Amino acid sequence: MRNDEVHQGLEKKEVRDLLAEQSWETGWTASVNYSVAWYEEEIVRLQEKLALARRHVTIRKIADEYGWQFYDISDEYADYDPNRCLDFVGTAEEHANRFKLEDKTA
């Protein structure tokens, strides 16, 4: 059966054909349960993530300008919240000196 025959003999065939064609072009099928409100909420969530990503890039650029890196030192503190990351910001030398790191390569 061809696409233009699907609605043959039904009332408002042209409208049905047009809606079927337009629906196909959107990438949606009849079996997809969509919600415009869900997508609007998803856009808001993604905009928030994008704002955080931009903020992160700015933070990293500033650190790079000073020649600093980020070191996760959460494990150095027994009383620190295990669900968070505690970063030391500085050079590798400062990090090693501050925390008297042992050489783990040996």
pLDDT in tens, 48-81: 999 999 999 999 999 999 999 999 887 777 676 7
Please report the pLDDT score of residue 22 as a whole number.
81
Q: What is the DSSP string of the chain?
A: --GGGTTTTSTTHHHHHHHHHHHHHTT--TT----HHHHHHHHHHHHHHHHHHHHHHHHHHHHHHHT-EEEE-GGG-TTS-TTS--EEEE-HHHHHHHHT------
pTM of the model: 0.57
Spatial CA neighbour of 18 closest among 3, 33, 34? 3
C-alpha closest to that of 67 among 49, 103, 91, 44? 91
Residue type, 28: W
